[in-house]
Structure 1
Amino acid sequence: MWALGVIVYIMLTGVHPFDADGRASDEEIEAAVRDPDLPLPLGRNHPYTRHLSSSAMDLIRRLMERDPKRRLSAFEMLHHPWVTGETASTRVMAGSDKRLNRFRRFKTRLQTQFFADAVGWSDEAIPSPSNENEEAARRRTSLIERSFKTVGGKEIDAIRKLMSNGGGNGNGNDGAAIDMGMLAGEGVPMVRTDGEEDGDGVIDMTMSDYNDLLSENMKQKYFPKGHVVYNEGDTGNHMYLINSGTVSVLSKDGIKNKRHAGDFFGEDALLHPLKVHSTTIKCKTPVHVIEISREYFEKYTASSSGLVLALREKDNIRKRNRAKALLKLQSGMKSVSFRRGERLFTEGDPGDSLYIIKSGNVDITTKGHQVFVAMEGNFAGEHSLLTGRARNTTATCISEGGCVATHMLGPDFRQLMDASPQLKEALFDMMNRREFKKAVVLRLGHEFPYLNPREAFDAVDVNRRGVLHVEDVTELMRTLDKDYTDSEVQAMMHTLDLSKDGRVSFDEFKKVFVGDIRTTQSM
């Protein structure tokens, strides 16, 4: 009967009466059970049981009576008013299933919002030398703590409505008390109501409560220094948000990078059609992560189109930046210097080489209009190498002190691409984005409007449908090059269509063509 009391306590509160945080050993629990001076965590003022009715607390107290002579017998328990239902409010019980369903949906929304916030904050995890102190302070704040501080009144009001049936009778035996007792079985013992005596139902959610709301589907894990989370080529069914610590990102091509607290990894396999990881992740320090399974990753992304766009574009950016890094690692390439105003290549020239910018800025133009500026670490001239066609842009050094670029010849480039399919995929992705910009510039007759992406979108959406279809892209690209093939159009759609639904929305368009500077540094 005493053990049954413990079970009833857990069912109604969601915690163990002698191990509330779930971390005690069997020996510690036994010591707590045997301690006659340890009070039972029960009462109107106790945070775990304040939502229970007086009748429920009386049942638990009499079942968990330490003196077996005074403890309820099975017969007495079966006739207790709480068990027979004499103290239950049928008015509250009616419709509670709907409130439970609403609460489950609410938890999913809260978890999705946390996930979206964490993905959005990941760009801030990229080191910025000009803001080191602020970044160090941010890294000491866990993702959950940061997210909790953003939870506003709407979320609290939503919980209040789910807990309330319009007010109780003030005696704690119905109204919010019984409703919350039911919700406790749904993992909500942490959502507390103060002032239950007068039925005001004020919600008080703590950081621990918020953590519990998230932890059902987001598992917190610890990896020691030196631990390999997964290897390149492994099948992956989880992604990880870094709560603290640093991981190394390694590839078989020799690319090395780091990701810090606030960033994430593992999304590559969740987005890859073959479900494989493109890099190896090794813990550079002890690391605490929040693990999200494929099941819940797909659930969260399905409920937020903006979230899946952000993740796919972040994954694309990382692949492109690894491609840039791999190109820069190649040895035996010649460095070439250019004066301000000097051209690296001219539109219409044949070309079987590309340039990797080492210093200075290079203006990339078509028909005299700027498409973009290639800066240090970027490259120019890939179009001719990848397509075999003549140059369709002019590259001009525009830096006062001149420019320096590494010159990579076609044979070396093709040998490298054959050895690295990921490099080839990333370079075609980058070329497609640039080719699309060139076509937009030609249609507008002026520079690409980075500050007004709607103008660029509308220039392509000539039928004013609000989305771009394959025929819109075909028409645009054939104004740039009349020999643009159907397969090249499909490749272009693959680059632009982040949502993979066969059309390109304005939100997708912005993600592809107007990237945040820190986002574009991600590896």
Structure 2
Amino acid sequence: DGDAPLPLGPQHPYTRHLSPSARDLIMRLMERNPKDRLSAFEMLHHPWVTGEAASTNVIVGSDKRLNKFKKFKTKLQTQFFADAVGWADEAIVGETRRRTNLIERSFKAFDDGEFFMKKLIPLNRGVLASEVLVDHDDDSDTDNDGDAKLNYTEYSNLLAENMKQKYFPRGHIVYRQGTEGNHMYFINSGTVQVITEDGVTNDRHQGDFFGEGAMLHPLKIRSCTIKCKTPVHVIEINRDYFEKYLASSSGLVLSLREKDKIRRRNRAKALLKLQNGMKSETFKRGETLYKEGDPGDSLFIVEDGVVDISTQGHQVIKATEGNFCGEHSLLTGRKRNTTATCISDECVALRMLGRDFRQLMDAAPHVKESLTDMMNRRDFKKAVVLRLGHEFPYDDPRKAFNAVDINKRGFLKHEDIAHIMRSMDEDYTDQEVDMMMHTLDLSRDGKVLYDEFVKV
């Protein structure tokens, strides 16, 4: 029949519901000539797979309906972004993490609840569930008389509009340290290696993310090089949408800034451990590495055991393997403001002399910045401990917050920080108060809310 529609044509019953881009992909995959047929790598970079092909479906309804749809889409994408950031911190069993990609995990998390339940124009009008959204709280839309669920394909397509799928081969350099960065990446599968010019390396795996540092940096500078250790599938988010998602959620801003600080501190710790000339020392239970009030010109990096860091007999923190202590005296030139005691059967620590520490700080200012941030957090906890008269209440952070918020404002101001720090050390300078405020004020709005306090 010469009038019959072609199998991959726009009128064929098997393919007419597909977009031109999807039909093009199928046609090129079914090419008879192997030389002209798409390779697997070419398929992964086809516009339909990467989400670059714009949908040609017409969104029906009023401007109000379209506006609701856009808000829904942004809310959906922001929620996925927030979840993906949060999941990177979870202790997920390795095999489970490797089996489930981020989009699938996100969809299942939503689908188990009622987030996707929404009122729709009856499906016989020929539109997809995702193309018409009416807020389920708005009962004034009487022409929406059916409930439906957003399916996985629609969900994935909604995310793909602003979150591009990228595939990199093994050995590929995603970006280099020192370059300008305008994208952030979530790892859907594979492993990348983080490489810094000072010799620190570590791996990031499926479920983690990278590239957020340059997105938060005022100069947009990459702080490391990213190299693919395996073939890698990532979800790429550009700066415009990154900022849009952050603007929709203050909690996201706090989480990402704190995550970036943690990673910088971990790099600083790793760089400290790479230094030569450190001497290993062993301490028995009850022995002190140093005492409060003593002059100090050395830093200790715990290799084994548990070290109790206390002030006036009250515990502030415990330093375990990989953590350090004694930084306060080296960074400020003041006497020790804590006592470090071995509280396990045996503790092994590397001692770094002050002169070596100062040489490293001069050569790597970013390390000094990260260690100063760590010192500020610890000093703040010390001040809280002294005000409370007992160990830091990690299981009740609200109690610690209230101890600082003596004016009961519900947030901490510069004057509150100055007051508690000078109650611990009357010589605490205005500059040091400013630096402490910079450490605590993750939102950069001149005050420290409880949510920020908890993250710090």
Same fold (TM over 0.5): yes
2:38 maps to none
Contact 1:244/1:262, CA 8 A, preserved across alignment: yes
Q: Equivalent residue for 2:54?
A: none
Aligned partner of 2:403 in structure 1 is 459
Offset at 1:101? 0.2
Q: State whether residues 16 and 22 of structure 1, in contact with CA within 8 Å, keep that contact through their aligned partners in structure 2.
A: no
- Aligned residues of 2:308 and 2:318 also touching (Cα < 8 A): yes
Matched, 1:140 2:106: no
Distance (whole Å) between structure 1 residues aligned to residue 147 and residue 332 of structure 2: 66
Structure 1 stretch 216-225 or stretch 328-337: which is displaced more? 328-337
In the alignment, structure 2 segments of 5+ residues that lack a partner are 34-56, 135-142
Answer whether contact 1:360 1:397 (CA < 8 A) is retained.
Answer: yes
Map residues 316-395 of structure 1 onto 2, 5 A cutoff: 316-395=261-340
Gaps of 5+ in 1: 32-50, 53-91, 165-174, 192-197, 513-523
Q: How far, CA to CA, are the matches of 1:368 and 1:375 in structure 2? A: 19
SS in 2 for 1:23: helix
Aligned partner (choices 384, 387, 404) of residue 440 of structure 1: 384
Q: Name the residue aligned to 1:418.
A: 362
Check whether the contact 1:361–1:403 (CA below 8 A) recurs between aligned residues.
yes
Name the structure 1 match of 2:22.
Answer: 20
Identity of aligned residues (%): 64
Q: How far apart are the structure 2 equivalents of 1:21 and 1:383?
A: 64
Determine helix, strand or coil for the equivalent of 1:371: strand
Could you say what secondary structure the match of 1:20 adopts?
helix
* Partner Cα separation in structure 2 for residue 365 and residue 383 of structure 1: 13
1:273 aligned residue (185, 209, 218): 218
What letter matches 2:193 in structure 1? S
- Matches of 1:415 and 1:330, distance apart in 2: 11
Conservation of the 8 A alpha-carbon contact between 2:401 and 2:450: yes
Tell me the amino acid that sits aligned with residue 210 of structure 1: Y
Q: Distance in 1 between matches of 2:261 and 2:183?
A: 18
CA–CA separation in structure 1 for the residues paired with 2:116 and 2:304 = 52
Match of 1:286 among 210, 231, 234: 231
Q: Deviations over 1:110-129 (max 9, x none)?
A: 000001110111123x6xxx
| TM-score w.r.t. length of structure 2 | 0.85
Counterpart of 1:122, as a letter, is A
Q: Alpha-carbon deviation of 1:201?
A: 2.8
Q: Aligned partners of 1:27, 1:351: CA distance in 2, in Å? A: 69
Give the counterpart letter for 1:120 in structure 2. Answer: G
Q: SS of the counterpart of 2:117?
A: helix
1:394 positional shift: 0.7
Q: CA RMSD in A?
A: 2.9
In structure 1, the residue corresponding to 2:67 is in which secondary structure?
Answer: helix
Aligned partner of 1:113 in structure 2 is 79
Contact 1:15 1:21 in 2 (8 A): no
**1 CA distance for matches of 2:297 and 2:283?**
19
Superposed displacement of residue 273, structure 1: 1.3
Q: What's the CA shift string for 1:196-233, capped at 9, x where partnerless?
A: xx985342432111100111100000010000001111
**Contact residue 285 and residue 347 of structure 2 kept, 8 A:** yes
- Residue 94 of structure 2 corresponds to residue 149 of structure 1: no
* 8 Å contact kept, 2:315–2:392: yes
**Residue 429 of structure 2 is aligned to residue 427 of structure 1:** no
Which residues in structure 2 correspond to 1:151-300 (within 5 Å)? 151-152=110-111, 153-158=113-118, 160=119, 163-164=120-121, 181=127, 188=131, 201-300=146-245
1:340–1:397 Cα contact (<8 Å) kept: yes
Stretch moving more, 450-459 or 481-490: 481-490
* Structure 2 counterpart of 1:515: none
Give the number of the structure whose residues are more often helix, by fraction.
1
User: Which amino acid letter does the alignment assign opposite residue 236 of structure 1?
Assistant: G
| Normalised TM-score (structure 1) | 0.74
* Mapping 1:35-54, distance limit 5 Å: none
What residue in structure 2 maps to residue 486 of structure 1?
430
Distance 1:396 1:202, change over 3 A: same
Counterpart of 1:314 (choices 259, 274, 282) is 259
**CA-to-partner distance for each residue in 1:452-471, whole Å, 9 max, x for gaps?**
00000000000011111101
Q: 2:63 aligns with which of 85, 90, 97?
A: 97
Matched letter for residue 329 of structure 2: S
Q: Distance in 2 between matches of 1:481 and 1:235?
A: 41
Q: Secondary structure at the match of 1:407?
A: strand
Tell me the amino acid that sits aligned with residue 301 of structure 2: I
| 1:499-510 matches, cutoff 5 A | 499-510=443-454
Shift of 1:380: 0.7
**Runs of 4+ with deviation above 2 angstroms:** 6-9, 13-31, 152-158, 175-178, 187-191, 198-202
The superposition leaves residues 402-448 of structure 1 with CA deviations (integer Å, 9 ceiling, x where unpaired) of 21111111110010011112111110000000000000000000000
Give the number of equivalent residue pairs.
Answer: 415
Q: What code does the residue aligned with 1:227 have?
A: H
Alpha-carbon spacing, 1:266–1:14, altered in 2? closer, same or farther (3 Å): farther
In 2, are the aligned partners of 1:188 and 1:213 still within 8 Å (CA)?
A: no
Would the aligned equivalents of 1:14 and 1:188 in 2 still touch at CA under 8 Å? Answer: no
- Does the residue aligned with 1:24 lie in a helix, a strand or coil? helix
CA distance in 2, matches of 1:190, 1:25: 33
Q: Letter of the aligned partner of 2:427 in structure 1?
A: D
Maintained 8 Å contact 2:214/2:221: yes
The one-character-per-residue Cα deviations of 1:117-167 (angstroms, maximum 9, x if unpaired) are: 10111123x6xxxx7xx4213212110000010114543233x2xx34xxx
Q: Is the 8 A contact 2:69 2:132 kept in 1?
A: no
CA contact (8 A) 2:168 2:228 kept: yes
Aligned-partner SS, 2:108: helix
Structure 1 residue 188: Cα displacement? 3.0
Report matched runs for 1:123-134 at 5 Å. Answer: 123-124=89-90, 134=93
Letter in 2 for 1:150: A
| Whole-angstrom distance in 2 between the partners of 1:503 and 1:357 | 34
Contact 2:280-2:348 within 8 A present in 1 as well: yes
